[in-house]
Structure 1
Amino acid sequence: MKIYDTLSGQVVDLVPVKEGEIKIYLCGPTVYNLLHIGNARPIIIFDAFRRFLEYIGYKVTLVQNFTDIDDKIIEQAKKENLPFEEVGKRYIIEYWRDMTALKVRAFNFHPKTTNYVNEIISYIKELEEKGYAYKAENGDVYFEVGKFSRYGELSHRKIEDMKVGVRVEVSEYKKNPLDFALWKASKEGEPFWESPWGKGRPGWHIECSVMSSEILGDTFDIHAGGNDLIFPHHENERAQAIAKSGKDFAKYWMHNGMIRMAQDKMSKSLGNVWYLRDLLKKFDSDVLKIFILSKHYRIPIDVSEELLRNQEVSVNRIKESLNDAEAFFNGKVPYPREMNCFKEEEKYLISSLSNDFDTPSVVARIFELSRDLNKALNSRDEETIKNNYYIIRNIYGSVLGVFETNEQIQKNNVELNQLMEIILNVRSALREEKLYNLSDYIRDNLSKIGIEIKDTPEGTKWS
């Protein structure tokens, strides 16, 4: 398995930190608005990447955070005259609605920044004790970039050549313009937590270093996100993590290219967004997934309604072929007798996706198989119909997360329902024994991964 590693600037062999396991941290959304298609691209890519790693035998742990305290969230809360917590909670719920409509699997952990403030404070204190952090006159606590000799390795920049620019905060209180906030002193009317440096809240970069290390350990396999995060966000994450632990933090860094409209990067701040929810009203989720996966994950993608309509035509042809195959066998396609064709296709799948996750080659193969399926339907070649149907559904489609049957999708939901039933039964038994600390421990830790437990007169419910 080879991937392009941003840190080394090369395609390298993926050698796990622990044999047989891959741990991935994917930077998640700041929850102050709905997701746009640019936010969805890394989710689609790494949903498929995880599926592939599992397909070839790895145990995968995939984490994506929610940033639920941030300047943008505070600003949105002021506009709506709401507590900041309500804004974050609302858009986390909307995130899950969009992910369900997109038909991607939930990741293993979805931590929220506000659930890790105590850990963030401890982390900053340790950086301060080691001489990497200082408190400024305005009450902010900054990471002193000049103390970290490896700064710039990820973005391949030299400190002396760096200039203050987009997403580098300007402040007269910094020792160096590149120093970045670990802790922000609260302003009047802003939310805050008590800390050794006074009332304040976490900076942007510190949250991901803390949550990734808490869940995945000081050193894990892959840190991922959009390539607009390489500098300063990921550079800063890496600097503070290595300074704190003395270890390597993420072994590899994977970055996807941006989504562009009229050659400009899509972003909420630029006002040229295309919300995922609106797109899913116009296009099937498979159309969006195939559109994203038909381009290599590292290159930028231009998006327009015309391009998506063209993709829709070709995706619908595949769906029609699969439906026609089912109709040919009166609703249920029998399993093929011969397995050799599966082995050859599996070799192609593994070879393609092991080459820096080359999804375009796999998508192209799906279209070839669909054309052959149509020919087989016309000639009533039963064995080829069965072969191609199951190859598209169970090999390529299953790994990329496309063309799944309702039965496949419902299977995941059934398993979650069964698991939650067991957990709630255990929790009820603990409450009957008055072991409330353990009962609350289950509730609080489920909350950290986005599952809310409510005890009602009608019984315990979850969402």
Structure 2
Amino acid sequence: MLQIYNTLTRSKQPFKPLHAGKIGMYVCGVTVYDYCHIGHARVMVSFDVMTRYLRWRGWDVNYVRNITDVDDKIIRRAAENGESVEQLTDRMVAAMHEDETALFVLRPDHEPRVTGHMDNIIRFITDLIDKEYAYLASNGDIYYRVEKFSGYGKLSGQQVDELRSGARVEVDELKESPLDFVLWKAAKPGEVSWPSPWGAGRPGWHIECSAMSRCCIGKTLDIHGGGPDLPFPHHENEIAQSEAANSCTYANYWMHAGPVRVNQEKMSKSLNNFFTIRDVLKVHDPEVVRYFLTSAHYRSYIDYSESSLTEARSALERFYQALQGVTPAATADGVSDRYETRFCEAMDDDFNTPKALAVLFELVNELNIAKRQASPDLPVLAAELKRLAGVMGLLQQDPDQFLKGPDREGELSGEAVDVWIAKRAQAKADKDYAEADRIRQWLLDQGVVLKDSREGTTWYRQ
């Protein structure tokens, strides 16, 4: 049975969906004012792996991930760039999709944008006002009454009394309580805005997810996910809004991906250790980055460093070297189900990808033995490896394509390597083994490793 760690209960729980065989999953997406960074990639890949696995096991998953395309950061950045909010966000959304495609991340079923759901957001705020959970302030903003909601703090473990005592008292006090948060911001001169019953304005950050998740999935979600910084205040505020408006549980399971550190430090622009996905992909193969992100459990922190990516590259090379020169069978029929069974046991244990990868490495070992012995099981073992790795979005490339890589400035081209391999083959045919060995060593010095087999010589870059 699938077990999921629930942030709300701080424990693993058997997964029981609202509707048999169906899962409604909402994940908080990106605020598109800049290029996505490696922390965004962690969330994207983590929930992509979960979705792939759940569907592979037969679940009908409705995966929704929103896009925040209007907020303070976006408005400021657009003004700095001398472009409209729409121009900035459209450009950043296109860039995000490019990054996702490179990382083999599948698109969600629905990708609602805040600007496309203003009617739903206004309707949601109206519901809260009607139930007296929200009020109009003197400046035209709408605020949520935090202390009216008795369950506030249950997700993050925050206590209302402690929050109240530590709250900053604003000079121009517009709120009934310092804990109250904004649902609707009255328009300022020159800002993008939308009409509402309370005047022109735009939504606060928290309300958008409550409104869009209700529209795209329903009043109660099976799973609500997001990044490590969201339990408080964002998800706590979502719970308060949604359960007050809908009079029912908002989400049955809360899942949060762990943080990314850089060389054991918190990733931060102020520390100058902030990496966008596209900058990382200029240096590293996208599948190496994806493997790196799946090599740690989704809830744990992961340390981004050049050594970590080198290790990820080495691990993937082992997979592709095992597959190199092998034509996988059309199906994996005939392979014992011991690998699939253990793979599923790992993934059913709160999507434990490190344990799942360990099972795949055992399969690689058996595949290598089969290659050495020219076993008739070789094609079906290769098919099983690709099938199970594919559930994690891995081994998506041709082995030669991955191992040889693109031609880079300062390296031997693939065409040049093939010429030297032909020269070495001729030397061996002429029984000039010293020359053949010299060529092998020279290529190794250039970062090219040769592998001889009955089928001929293959190569890959170190």
Q: Give me the TM-score of the superposition, normalised by structure 1.
A: 0.82
The counterpart of 1:392, out of the listed 380, 385, 394, is 385
Alignment of 1:384-423 (within 5 A): 385-394=378-387, 396-405=388-397
User: AA paired with 2:158?
Assistant: R
Quote the residue 2:361 is aligned against. Answer: 367
CA positional deviation for 1:318: 1.4
Residues 132 and 144 in structure 1, CA contact (< 8 A), matched pair in contact too = yes
Q: How many corresponding residue pairs?
A: 398
CA positional deviation for 1:171: 6.9
- Aligned equivalents of 1:64 and 1:262: distance in 2? 30
Residues 79 and 322 (structure 1), Cα distance of their counterparts in 2 relative to 1, 3 Å cut: same
Secondary structure of 1:162's counterpart equals helix
Secondary structure of 1:23's counterpart equals strand
The counterpart of 1:333, out of the listed 328, 347, 351, is 328
Residues 135 and 320 (structure 1), Cα distance of their counterparts in 2 relative to 1, 3 Å cut: same
Secondary structure of 1:324's counterpart equals coil
- Aligned equivalents of 2:353 and 2:164: distance in 1? 36
Secondary structure of 2:325's counterpart equals helix
- Answer with 24-33 or 313-322: which moved more: 313-322
Secondary structure of 1:11's counterpart equals strand
Residues 168 and 4 (structure 1), Cα distance of their counterparts in 2 relative to 1, 3 Å cut: farther
The counterpart of 1:380, out of the listed 357, 361, 374, is 374
Quote the residue 1:46 is aligned against. Answer: 47
Q: Give me the TM-score of the superposition, normalised by structure 2.
A: 0.82
- Answer with 364-373 or 203-212: which moved more: 364-373
Residues 164 and 170 in structure 1, CA contact (< 8 A), matched pair in contact too = no
Quote the residue 1:417 is aligned against. Answer: none
Quote the residue 1:116 is aligned against. Answer: 117
Residues 203 and 169 (structure 1), Cα distance of their counterparts in 2 relative to 1, 3 Å cut: farther
Larger-Rg structure: 2
User: AA paired with 2:38?
Assistant: I
- Aligned equivalents of 2:332 and 2:174: distance in 1? 73
CA positional deviation for 1:387: 3.2
- Bigger fraction of residues in helix: 1
User: AA paired with 1:138?
Assistant: N
Cα displacement string for residues 28-55 of structure 1 (whole angstroms, at most 9, x for unaligned residues): 0000111111001111111111111111
- Aligned equivalents of 2:351 and 2:297: distance in 1? 8
Alignment of 1:62-461 (within 5 A): 62-162=63-163, 172-267=173-268, 272-325=273-326, 332-335=327-330, 339-341=334-336, 343-383=337-377, 385-394=378-387, 396-405=388-397
Residues 167 and 82 (structure 1), Cα distance of their counterparts in 2 relative to 1, 3 Å cut: farther
CA positional deviation for 1:163: 6.1
Stretches of structure 2 that go unaligned for 5 or more consecutive residues are 399-462
CA positional deviation for 1:267: 4.7
Cα displacement string for residues 319-366 of structure 1 (whole angstroms, at most 9, x for unaligned residues): 1221232xxxxxx3334785241x222211211111111111011222
CA positional deviation for 1:268: 5.4
Cα displacement string for residues 199-258 of structure 1 (whole angstroms, at most 9, x for unaligned residues): 210000000000000000001200000121000000001110000010111111011111
Quote the residue 1:443 is aligned against. Answer: none
- Aligned equivalents of 1:338 and 1:22: distance in 2? 29
- Aligned equivalents of 1:321 and 1:195: distance in 2? 61
Secondary structure of 2:229's counterpart equals helix
Residues 37 and 275 in structure 2, CA contact (< 8 A), matched pair in contact too = yes
- Answer with 2-11 or 274-283: which moved more: 274-283
Residues 239 and 192 (structure 1), Cα distance of their counterparts in 2 relative to 1, 3 Å cut: same
Secondary structure of 1:260's counterpart equals strand
User: AA paired with 1:390?
Assistant: A
- Answer with 198-207 or 262-271: which moved more: 262-271
- Aligned equivalents of 1:350 and 1:340: distance in 2? 16
Quote the residue 1:3 is aligned against. Answer: 4
User: AA paired with 1:153?
Assistant: K
- Aligned equivalents of 1:194 and 1:335: distance in 2? 58
CA positional deviation for 1:185: 1.3
Residues 347 and 205 (structure 1), Cα distance of their counterparts in 2 relative to 1, 3 Å cut: same
